[in-house]
Amino acid sequence: MNECLLIYSYRSCDGVFSPSPGTLHNHSPTTNQYKFAGQHFVNNGEEDQMEIYGYRRSTAKSIATTALIFATLGFLQLLFFWKPELQLYMMYSRCTLDLATCVLLKNEYYQTFVSRVEILTFKSVKKSKSAVDDKLLELTETTPYIVPAGKGKFIPAHSIKVFDCCRARYWWNDACHGFEKIAGLGDDCDIEYFLEQEGLCKEEEIKRRRLFGENSISVEVEHVWKILWKEALNPFYIFQAFSVTVWFIDGYYYYAAAIVVISTVSLALTVHETRAQQKALRDRVHDVEVVQVLRSDGSVETVEGSSLVPGDIVIIPPHGCTMVCDAALIAGNCIVNESSLTGESVPVTKTPLNPEHENEIFKIRAQARHILFSGTRVLQTRFYGNELVKAVVIRTGFMTSKGELVRSIMFPAPVDFQFYRHTYMFVGMLAAVASCGLVYSVALRMYRAEPWKSIIIRSLDLITIAVPPALPAALTVGIVFAQRRLKAAKVFCMSPKTINISGTTNLICFDKTGTLTEDGLDFKGIVPADGGRFDQMVDSAATMERGPLLLTMTTCHSLTLINSELSGDPLDLIMFKATGWSLEEPHTEETSKFDLLVPTVVKPKKRQGDDEELSEVGIVREFPFSSSVQRMSVIVKQLQEPTFQYFCKGAPEKILTLCRPETVPHDFYEKLESFTRKGDRVIAMAWKDLGSVRFLKIHKLKREDLEVELNFLGFLLLENRLKPDTAQVIHSLKKAGLRSVMVTGDNIQTAISVARECGIVGMTEDVQIVTADPSKMTWAWTADMTQEDRKMLSRELAEGRPDDKIHLAVAGSSFENIRKFHPEGLKKMLLEGAIFARMSPFEKEMLIDCFKDQGYFVAMCGDGANDCGALKSAHTGISLSESEAAAAAPFTYTKGSIRCVPEIIREGRAALVTSFGIFKYIACYSLTQFVSCLMLYWVGTNLADWQFLYIDMFELTMLSITFGRTAAYKRIVKDPPPSSLLAFVPIFSLVMHLIIVITAQVVAFVLVQQQPFYINRTEVLSFLNTSKKDESHEYRCYENYAVFGVSIFQYIWLALAFAKGPPYRRLVLTNTFFMATVVFFCVFDVFLVLFPTDFIAYHFQLFVPPEMNFRGVLIGIAAVNLVCSLILEFFCIDFILFKRAGKHVKWIRSSTYLGDIEAAIRQKMDPHWWTKIEISPSKPALHLPPSIASHTGFMEMPLVDPSASFGTTASSSFLGGPTDFPILPVSSSYGSGLVLVNESENHAHSAHSHPAMEMPSNVTFEELVEVIPLLDPPPSYERESSRDSARFLEPVSREEPSSSEQQPTVTFVREASTDDDETAAMLGTPSPHPHVEYA
């Protein structure tokens, strides 16, 4: 069979596009675009896209593999348990998907899943235990199944081929020769399909349930024995079992028994914790609801929520309910609390699907305002007369929004962190060292003609020493203590491994509303407009005269009453409450006076002499807010008026396009920008009188017909205030050298203002707004610094304190174009971008992925479902909400403030440094013990049972546990912590410590043999009147005493050396438990070496030298070892290598510096793209709109074509008079500009006589992004190009050239924002000293 060719759709930032799936292509599979050619995909183009391969069983392979399983005593089967895909490779053969009996799936994280393909037939139905199937079997005997046929239709089928993976079911579609997810109804149906639904019959419901399954989000709580079995087969416990077996055979009974006890306790705790987590998740997601379903015959049936299927029509009760499925509303309105998904407790009004859009394709994201999502709570319904509130079920079970969330929790993305990868590599290196020791041991014992049993057991014992079985447990110590400290600070961590990753964070993305700023808004005032002019701002809406502006504020909203409490959008609430009016939702009998069906009524507070009834206003029809049109509107009727009125409010840019030009003030944009630059939320309002329209026609009018020729009314101003600690936290992050970025759905000017206010952007730092379409990118100065700010900036720069940082701001639509069409521009955005506004949830997630692709370690802090995708995608997701959507984030903070961000980073750094130190400690401990055993093997002995027990169970365990109790340092420093185990510094540290350890042990080993009292091991056994077979004296000798006496101190010294303090952890002296442990073992070890009692000497098998002086010498060797270890780690490693050399020599570093990442991005940028217009892949074109080109005082010149060359002339009033001069359009890293070439020096002086170039008042924002008028430098300052922006330096004196030496002077009409070398390259001249003027 010819398989259809699917091309992978990249989720990357390189701008490469893949053709749509299902298209046959004949390209080379070696190119990036087609490297997956010939492979199949399921969920193509979606977030959970996976590669799929078909396999079927091979008889020959199966027989051979079964023989291998027996030959390896079942070890091969154990490998299959750990890696199921290995069994597929060894027992199955690749085949086309239509013949497959098993499938292998790989996701974007290279995780693999193996699923068995089943063919469901009528026999499968008979085997089903469902009571419904048994009762109604005869109804479906001929065609027991149905399969999707597209457009919401289903066709009967005798059988269906399916497989299940990650709680999703896939079916074989013969039409496209591939597997497709069984999701539900939706993206291929039009709206008319849902509006025409009348309910399902019983037979259809049964067949659909067989296809879609039960409507339940079931989280299995596994049996204790099943969990125990799975955990016991973990590689860690398998290696423990192997080690314990070797130790028992070798006679280490006490030590082996202790390990068995500890492992059993660890297993029991793991099983208990796993079951507790499964129960908690099950209880959290399990909903039991009884619902009413409308059948095709018009009857209403009460059923359990688990029996719902896509296509059922459910009736929403008036008192509300909890939704157990995703359903599209087709009749009536619902007030819904979606806090479980979005984190916002504000009730949302859901309206039915609009029949006017019946021909549009139904998209869940686009139609979200009409969908009741699973897990949300319907508070109440609103309906007309006796009409039922109905909704069509579109998705059930794990395919619902809530189910997808639970799936993301059950099957999380793997934690891909360099430190963890390196631990596995390092364990491999230790295994290689153990192999060398194994060869040494075997060769030595064979040379001595020892029995084979002794050779095998002692050699295997070396492996258990060199590869520490306690390593995985030890690595969690720092994480456990950090998690406890975070919990005490009300920060809850769902994924403990993420704590270490958070320590590497160097870029933090913040949502704005509810994260940096308060959730609510404050009413600031109204700016009325009348006769094409703005009036003075009104501070109180309650004092306004009744008129269209006041009526817009009182009626143009979606507020409702829930339990007599006014509820709705916070903006609407603030606006309405500011008027002092009241809202009522009358009973049906009260609506006759409006001739309407149950309108919402608003009225002012009753005043003496007023007729309350005549002052009422009824809201006849509401057009809800839509993010696509960015506005909402209503039709209202006043009792005293015979006509209907239409009121509209929304984004100023959108409202402007709907209004009559004569009603819009000429300074509209000037006013708008003045407010947005202050951080105000600006809402524009407009209205018109509809005249005497009949009521029936009102409900048939289309929105687009109403929204024309409106009268502009003015602006509503609201304040969005920063949270009290926002600025302080941003300042602390900035001081620590961490980059902060704002990612918001709000207006770009408002976002820039908030960014300045909170410190993400400095008050005097330049911000450029970037806009892009598929063909070009443009940069525009935001012009939001006051003249005072600019004067202050000039003074600071003149005083030698330049801040040349340039920030870029971009809106979501432009970011998408940059991501897709401008790969070089994307690098610049990721490097300099600080404000990403008007970002959709998908765009937020893509931005996080782009940052990650460039090497940043990204944290995302948000408060709602809008940030859910970004929270999951980031290395460190921090949610400020306790909603179910927030469960996808590793961290949750319950106090709703970003002050948790530095706390998490501090604890992450402390945990990472602790894990780093613990790993080095455990590795050195293993190698230290390994060296001890190798040396003792030379004289035919080893460490005794109690010696192993003391070292491993007491010293190692107690030091490792208390090691991680050191708290995090009080502040975040600029230097990031180490994150690479295989870098030069940690490898050098381990090697040098190992050299010190070996030297100390060798000195003790050799020194004891030089003593006059020394006798060899054979003589010792004779002296004790025993033999080698006597286990109580098997290992006693002077070498054992000397090596053991020195090594027990070495384990303490290594712990002290690796227990790092500032700047990531507090001083180790503050860790009282650790220091007490160190002191205790130091005292006890001195006692063991100098004054061991007979009882201790017998059980530890110590053969104590008779001379006390030699015992003291061993203490002295240990003391020298301590001094050397501390000097090496704290002076040579930390101070010289890490702090000094590491800042200058890149290959020495074991940390990831933010500067290194940014330098790598700059290095990857193509310099030709910025400097050579003709080869630029996205050539920034210069365009001057007529209103700018003709504006007096700005530039009086004809429109300039980007390809214009020298000789085109123009005149400029700000250059000292109307003088013609040649112009040249150029492009730089910040967009387009004009180069003006003056033949006269006088003109150059005239250019400097005007310190600022003002924008004309009638320039629109769209025009602003095309031309970039920036500040010209004062004449007394020289300008130097630094990075990408120009800055002022020290005053310079200028010499007047003689007239004979005059040469053309090139002056930028905008602030230079590119390197002067680039400018010179564009002009075709040599690169001079970097001045604005080139002579």
Tell me which residues are annotated as active site.
511
CA angle 1221, 1224, 1228 (to 5 degrees): 140
Task: Say how far residue 9 (Cα) sits from the centre of its chain.
Answer: 21
Of 243, 244, 171, which Cα lies nearest the Cα of 212? 171
Of 521, 104, 581, 511, which Cα lies nearest the Cα of 342? 511
Of 610, 555, 544, 563, which Cα lies nearest the Cα of 582? 555
Pairwise CA distance, residues 659 & 664, whole Å: 7
Locus of tokens 């009882």: 1095
Locus of tokens 């820039």: 752
CA angle 276, 278, 279 (to 5 degrees): 65
CA distances (Å), 895 to each of 460, 731, 879, 904, 1300, in order? 54, 20, 10, 14, 73
Task: Say how far residue 308 (Cα) sits from the centre of its chain.
Answer: 34
Phi then psi dihedrals of residue 323, to 5 deg: -70, 135
Contact 854, 819 (CB under 8 A): no
Pairwise CA distance, residues 1244 & 339, whole Å: 62
Which residue type sits at 479? I
Q: Using DSSP, how many helices (H) and how many strands (E) does the chain show?
A: 46, 48
Pairwise CA distance, residues 512 & 890, whole Å: 20
Angle between helical axes of 59-71 and 84-91 (0-180°, round to 10):
130
Pairwise CA distance, residues 702 & 687, whole Å: 16
CA distances (Å), 13 to each of 44, 481, 807, 846, 1162, in order? 18, 38, 20, 8, 16
Locus of tokens 């819009």: 664
CA distances (Å), 1053 to each of 178, 913, 1119, 1194, in order? 62, 18, 9, 74
Contact 236, 420 (CB under 8 A): no
Secondary structure (3-state) at 41: strand
Ranges of beta strands (E only) in 752-857 are: 766-772, 777-781, 806-811, 833-837
Locus of tokens 């490097």: 831
Looking at the DSSP assignment, which residues form a beta bridge with residue 1291? 1277
Task: Say how far residue 1048 (Cα) sits from the centre of its chain.
Answer: 46
Pairwise CA distance, residues 347 & 558, whole Å: 10
Task: Say how far residue 417 (Cα) sits from the centre of its chain.
Answer: 14
Task: Say how far residue 864 (Cα) sits from the centre of its chain.
Answer: 13
Contact 1227, 1242 (CB under 8 A): no
Of 231, 258, 234, 239, which Cα lies nearest the Cα of 430? 239
Pairwise CA distance, residues 199 & 215, whole Å: 17
Which residue type sits at 1267? V
Tokens of 291: 């619902």
With a CB cutoff of 8 Å and minimum separation 6, the contacts of 192 are: 358, 359
Contact 289, 322 (CB under 8 A): yes
Tokens of 1309: 């009409």
Contact 392, 327 (CB under 8 A): yes
Contact 325, 393 (CB under 8 A): yes
Secondary structure (3-state) at 4: coil
